[in-house]
Structure 1
Amino acid sequence: MGFGPGGWGPLMIRAAGMTLSLAVCGYLTGLLAGVLGAWAKLQKSRVLYRIADVYTTILRGVPDLLVIFIFYCGSAATISPIFELFGHKGFFALPGFLAGFLAIGVVSGAYQTEVLRGAVQAVGNGEIEAARAYGMTGFLMFRRVLCPLALRYALPGLANVSQLVLKEAALVSVTGVVELVRQAQLGAGATRDPFSFYLAASCLYLAITSVTGLLFQFAEARAMQGVSRS
Structure 2
Amino acid sequence: MGYYLSLISFGPSGWGGAFLDGALITISLAVATLPFGLALGLGIALMQRSEKKWVRRIATIYTTIFRGVPELLTLYIIYFGLSLGAQRLAKSLGFSGQFDMPPFLAGMIALGLVLSSFSSEVWVGALSAIPKGQREAAAALGLHRGQAFRLVVFPQLMRVALPGLGNNWMVLLKETSLVSVITLPDIMFYATRANVVTKEPFLMFGVACLIYLVFSMASAIGFGFLEARANRGYISHGTAR
- TM-score of the aligned structures, taking structure 1 as reference length: 0.93
* Alignment counterpart, residue 22 of structure 2, candidates 15, 19, 25: 15
Q: Within 5 A, what are the aligned runs for 1:129-140? A: 129-140=136-147
Q: Within 5 A, what are the aligned runs for 1:149-228? A: 149-228=156-235
Kindly report structure 1 stretches of 4+ aligned residues shifted beyond 6 Å. Answer: none
Are 1:86 and 2:88 an aligned pair?
no
Separation of aligned partners in 2, 1:169 and 1:39:
27
Separation of aligned partners in 1, 2:88 and 2:123:
39
Cα distance, 1:187–1:146 mapped onto 2, change above 3 Å: same
> Is contact 2:183–2:189 with CA below 8 Å preserved after alignment?
no
Alignment RMSD, CA only?
Answer: 1.6
Are 1:101 and 2:108 an aligned pair?
yes
Separation of aligned partners in 2, 1:107 and 1:117:
16
Q: Within 5 A, what are the aligned runs for 1:100-119? A: 100-119=107-126
Report the secondary structure of 1:178's partner residue.
coil
Partner of 2:41: 34
Deviation at 1:100, TM superposition (A): 1.0
Cα distance, 1:137–1:83 mapped onto 2, change above 3 Å: closer
Amino acid at match of 2:95: F
Amino acid at match of 1:117: V
Report the secondary structure of 1:117's partner residue.
helix
Partner of 2:57: 50
> Is contact 2:188–2:208 with CA below 8 Å preserved after alignment?
yes
Report the secondary structure of 1:43's partner residue.
coil
Separation of aligned partners in 2, 1:95 and 1:210:
30
Deviation at 1:93, TM superposition (A): 2.5
Deviation at 1:138, TM superposition (A): 2.2
- TM-score of the aligned structures, taking structure 2 as reference length: 0.89
> Is contact 1:26–1:103 with CA below 8 Å preserved after alignment?
no
Cα distance, 1:4–1:128 mapped onto 2, change above 3 Å: same
* Alignment counterpart, residue 59 of structure 1, candidates 57, 61, 66: 66
Amino acid at match of 1:98: L
Report the secondary structure of 2:185's partner residue.
coil
Deviation at 1:213, TM superposition (A): 1.6
